[in-house]
C-alpha cells in the first residue's frame, strides 16, 4: 500500500512539473547594484553586481543601448554577479539585465574608443582621439619625448618608444595610464606587434644597437634581446605571427626571426638596400622597397634566397600591397604611381597623381588606394582593380602621413598635415564590413578636422583582437 501511495505522489510531482514547464517559468525580477567600470572600450571586461541575475533556465541577457551582448562575450554568470566583455558593435547608453521576461533597472554606461594615439612634435604630450565620435578624449604626459608607438595585438597596452631616453613607456589603453617603464638598448627606433595571441610580443628595433628587443605584452617586460650583426631599420611580420623579418639597410641583410623560439632562423644578403617592407598574400612573399636603388624586391617565402626585383626609372617614395588584388601600388617622385602585379613582379600601369606624393594607404577592402600629395594639398584615389585614378579629394593643408581606421561606425582615413595643429579625417564609406559590402566611392570625402592643439608627428590606431571570452577566462586587465 505504501508503495502505491509513493508512486502516486511521484506521478503527481511529475505532472505538476510538466504543468509548470508548459505554462512557463516565473522569474524573479533582476536588479543591478553596480557596474564596474562605468565606462570602457571594446574588449574591456565589465563586472555587474546585483540580485536575481541568474535562473536555472539560463535565460539571462545583457543589453547596452538596446543592443544585446552575444553570449560568447560572457566570462561567467552567477546569481549576484555577471562578468562580460564589451563587444565591438555597442555604443553608449543604458545597460540592463533581463532574466526571462523580467528586466532590471537601467544603469548608464559609456563606450569609448577605440583610440587613435597622436604624438606631438618635440613634446612629451600624447593625445588620445576617440574614433567613435572623432573627438579628443584627453592629452596626457609621458616621461620622455616619444618618437614612435606600437599597440599590443590585443589592444590592451601601447608602447611609447623614447629614442633619446632608451626606454619604453607602457600605457594601459583602457584609461591611458602609464603603468611601467622598460629600459632597452640604445636608440629604440620603431617596432611591430606580433599578430598572434599565443605569442604576445612586440618587437623593437634600435638605431644604435646590433640587436632587437622582444617585449612580452602580458608581463610588460623584456622577454629577450636577439643579437644581430647590424642595426635593423625595418620590420615586417607574417599574418600568422610565426615569423618576423628585420632588415639592415646599409649592410643589405635580412634576418628571419622565429617567434615561437625567439631566435634567428636565417640570415640572407640582399641585392639592394632595403627600406619599407610588407608581407604579401598568403605569407608567400616579402616585398621590400629599395628607394635608394629605384627598385621593389620580392622575396619568396619560405625560400628566402629566391628574390626577384623590378626597377623603376624614377625613385619610389612609398608603397602599399593589396592582398585582395595581388598588386602593389608604388608612388614616385615624378608625381606618378605604378601598379605592379605581385606575381613576377610586373609593371601593369603608370598613373598620374598629385604634386609631390609622400604616402599611400589602402582602405580595408584594399580596392582603393589613397595617395597623399603634399604640394597640391589633396588625395588621389586609385581604383586598384581597374588601374585608374578615379577622383581627387581636396584638403585644408599639406598631407604628410596617412593611417586607416576600421570601426563599427565606418572606416576613416586620418591625415597628419604639415605644420597644422589638427588631423584631417576622410570618410571611406559607411558600408557594413561584416557583410563584405564593397565601399562606394561616392562616400569618399573630406569629413572634418580634429584640433589637437599641437603639431602631430605620428599616429597609431588601436585594433582589438581577442578570443571569445568563454574560451579565454577573465583577463588580468588591471581594470577595477
pLDDT tens digit string along 208-251? 999 999 999 999 999 999 999 999 999 999 999 999 999 999 99
Quote the DSSP letter at residue 152: -
Mean pLDDT of the chain: 89
Per the structure, the count of domains in the chain is: 2
Boundary residue ending a domain (76, 111, 146): 111
156 SS3 class: coil
Per-residue confidence band for 29, with pLDDT thresholds at 50, 70 and 90: very high
Structure confidence by residue, pLDDT tens digits, 72-91: 999 999 999 999 999 988 88
pLDDT of residue 368: 94
Question: Per DSSP, what are the bridge partners of residue 269?
Answer: 253
- Within a domain: residue 93? yes
> The whole model's pTM is what?
0.89
Using one digit for the tens of pLDDT, what is the confidence trace for 326-337? 999 999 999 999
State which residues form the domain around 358: 312-455
Q: Which residues neighbour 266 within 8 Å (Cβ) at sequence distance 6 or greater? A: 255, 256, 304
* Domain assignment of residue 265, yes or no: no
Model pLDDT, residue 480: 40
| Residue 129 belongs to a domain | no
At 343, the pLDDT band (50, 70, 90 cuts) reads confident
CA 358/CA 393 separation, integer angstroms: 15
- The rounded radius of gyration (Å) of the Cα atoms in the chain is 27
- In 3D space, the residue among 202, 221, 201, 225 whose CA is nearest the CA of residue 213 turns out to be 225
CB 272 within 8 A of CB 252: yes
Tell me what percent of the residues of the chain surpass a pLDDT of 70.
Answer: 91
Q: Is the pLDDT of residue 425 over 50?
A: yes
**Per-residue confidence (pLDDT) for residue 26, from 0 to 100:** 66
Inside any domain, residue 292: no
Residue % of the chain over a pLDDT of 90: 72
pLDDT in tens, 254-275: 999 999 999 999 999 998 999 9
CATH of the domain at 46: 2.60.40.10
Whether the predicted pLDDT of 3 surpasses 70 = no
Is residue 428 in a domain? Answer: yes
Q: Where are the beta strands (DSSP E) in 374-421?
A: 378-383, 388-394, 399-407, 410-417
- What phi and psi, each to the nearest 5 degrees, are found at residue 271? -75, -35
- Does some domain include residue 123? no
* Residue 135 belongs to some domain of the structure: no
Mean pLDDT within 472-479: 61
Q: Which residues pair with 157 in a beta bridge?
A: 172
- What CATH number has the domain bearing residue 440? 2.130.10.10
Looking at residue 475, what is its pLDDT? Answer: 62
C-alpha–C-alpha distance, residues 36 and 47, integer Å: 5
Give the residue from 79, 111, 143 where a domain finishes: 111
**In a domain? residue 71:** yes
Highest mean pLDDT among 5-14, 58-67, 314-323 belongs to 314-323
Q: Before 192, cis peptide (omega within 30)?
A: no
Domain-ending residue, one of 56, 76, 111 = 111
Give the SS3 label for residue 433: helix
Q: Assess contact for 178 and 169: CB atoms under 8 A.
A: yes
Residue pLDDT, tens place only, 437-474: 667 777 788 888 999 989 999 999 999 888 888 887 77
Are the C-beta atoms of 162 and 123 separated by less than 8 Å?
no
Amino acid at each position: 500500500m505504501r508503495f502505491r501511495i509513493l508512486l502516486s505522489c511521484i506521478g503527481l510531482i511529475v505532472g505538476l512539473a510538466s504543468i509548470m514547464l508548459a505554462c512557463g517559468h516565473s522569474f524573479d525580477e533582476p536588479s543591478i547594484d553596480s557596474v564596474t567600470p562605468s565606462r570602457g572600450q571594446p574588449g574591456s571586461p565589465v563586472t555587474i553586481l546585483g540580485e536575481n541575475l541568474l535562473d536555472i533556465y539560463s535565460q539571462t541577457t545583457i543589453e547596452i543601448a538596446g543592443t544585446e551582448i552575444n553570449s560568447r562575450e560572457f566570462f561567467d554568470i552567477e546569481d549576484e554577479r555577471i562578468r562580460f566583455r564589451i563587444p565591438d558593435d555597442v555604443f553608449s547608453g543604458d545597460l540592463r539585465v533581463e532574466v526571462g521576461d523580467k528586466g532590471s533597472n537601467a544603469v548608464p554606461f559609456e563606450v569609448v574608443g577605440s583610440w587613435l594615439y597622436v604624438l606631438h612634435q618635440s613634446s612629451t604630450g600624447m593625445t588620445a582621439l576617440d574614433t567613435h565620435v572623432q573627438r579628443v578624449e584627453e592629452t596626457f604626459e609621458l616621461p620622455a619625448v616619444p618618437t614612435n608607438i606600437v599597440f599590443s595585438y590585443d589592444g590592451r597596452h601601447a608602447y611609447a618608444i623614447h629614442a633619446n631616453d632608451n626606454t619604453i613607456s607602457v600605457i594601459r589603453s583602457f584609461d591611458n595610464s602609464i603603468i611601467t617603464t622598460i629600459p632597452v638598448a640604445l636608440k629604440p627606433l620603431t617596432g611591430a606587434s606580433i599578430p598572434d595571441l599565443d605569442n604576445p610580443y612586440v618587437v623593437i628595433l634600435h638605431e644604435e644597437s646590433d640587436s632587437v628587443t622582444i617585449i612580452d605584452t602580458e608581463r610588460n617586460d623584456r622577454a629577450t634581446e636577439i643579437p644581430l650583426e647590424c642595426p635593423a631599420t625595418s620590420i615586417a611580420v607574417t599574418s600568422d605571427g610565426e615569423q618576423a623579418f628585420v632588415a639592415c639597410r646599409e649592410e643589405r641583410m635580412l634576418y628571419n626571426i622565429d617567434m615561437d623560439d625567439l631566435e634567428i632562423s636565417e640570415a640572407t644578403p640582399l641585392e639592394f638596400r632595403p627600406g619599407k617592407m610588407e608581407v604579401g598574400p598568403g605569407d608567400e612573399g616579402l616585398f621590400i622597397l629599395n628607394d635608394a636603388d629605384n627598385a621593389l624586391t620580392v622575396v619568396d617565402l619560405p625560400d628566402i634566397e629566391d628574390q626577384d626585383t623590378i626597377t623603376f626609372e624614377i625613385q619610389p617614395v612609398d608603397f602599399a600591397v593589396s592582398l585582395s588584388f595581388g598588386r602593389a601600388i608604388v608612388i614616385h617622385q615624378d608625381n606618378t604611381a605604378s601598379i605592379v602585379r605581385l606575381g613576377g613582379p610586373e609593371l601593369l600601369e603608370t598613373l598620374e597623381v598629385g604634386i609631390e606624393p609622400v604616402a599611400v594607404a589602402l582602405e580595408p577592402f584594399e580596392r582603393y588606394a589613397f595617395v597623399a600629395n603634399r604640394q597640391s594639398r589633396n588625395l588621389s584615389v586609385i581604383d586598384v582593380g581597374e588601374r585608374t585614378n578615379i577622383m581627387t579629394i581636396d584638403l585644408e593643408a599639406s598631407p604628410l602621413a596617412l593611417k586607416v581606421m576600421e570601426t563599427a561606425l565606418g572606416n576613416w582615413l586620418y591625415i597628419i598635415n604639415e605644420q597644422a595643429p589638427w588631423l584631417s579625417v576622410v570618410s571611406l564609406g559607411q558600408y557594413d564590413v561584416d557583410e563584405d559590402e564593397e565601399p562606394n566611392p561616392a562616400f569618399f570625402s573630406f569629413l572634418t578636422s580634429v584640433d589637437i592643439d599641437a603639431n602631430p608627428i605620428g599616429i597609431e590606431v588601436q585594433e582589438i583582437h581577442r578570443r571569445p571570452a568563454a574560451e579565454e577566462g577573465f583577463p588580468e586587465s588591471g581594470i577595477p
